[in-house]
């Protein structure tokens, strides 16, 4: 990732109106710098070589498989957006490709 210091700087930029991707880019980082190697190694050391993965992030599957794990199945993390996280989740979906089921605001009003 971008380390704690830079994550705090990114949060400050988000407080000024940038989204999570824009904040990372403005600090000179890629939108998502996470590396799954250490996690994959821990799982392998525990004897796990095939897994079912809870995630909405298809890049996480690619990252783990790149380190030799076999992802048999992905299970989505189901969450309901609220006024505090809706924009963040929409950005994750639109800009980072996360697989989220987010009803649009018009649909939400009809419910």
**Is 34 a catalytic site residue?**
yes
Active-site hit among 3, 9, 15, 34: 34
Quick check: 60 and 19 in contact, CB under 8 A?
no
Task: Name the pairing type of β-strands 50-54 and 70-75.
Answer: parallel
Annotation marks residue 3 as catalytic: no
Contacts of 21 (CB under 8 A, 6+ apart): 31, 91, 95, 96
Q: Which of 3, 32, 109, 110 is catalytic?
A: 32
Distances (CA, A) of 97 to 33, 35, 52, 63, 71: 15, 17, 20, 14, 18
Catalytic residues, which ones? 32, 34
């Amino acid at each position: 990732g971008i380390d704690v210091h830079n994550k705090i700087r990114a949060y400050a930029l988000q407080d000024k109106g940038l989204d999570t991707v824009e904040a990372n880019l403005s600090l000179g980082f890629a939108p998502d710098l996470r590396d799954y190697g250490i996690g994959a190694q821990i799982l392998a050391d525990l004897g796990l070589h095939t897994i079912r993965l809870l995630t909405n992030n298809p890049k996480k599957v690619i990252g783990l498989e790149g380190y030799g794990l076999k992802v048999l199945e992905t299970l989505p993390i189901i969450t309901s957006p609220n006024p505090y996280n809706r924009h963040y989740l929409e950005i994750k979906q639109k800009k980072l490709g996360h697989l989220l089921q987010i009803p649009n605001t018009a649909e939400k009003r009809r419910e």
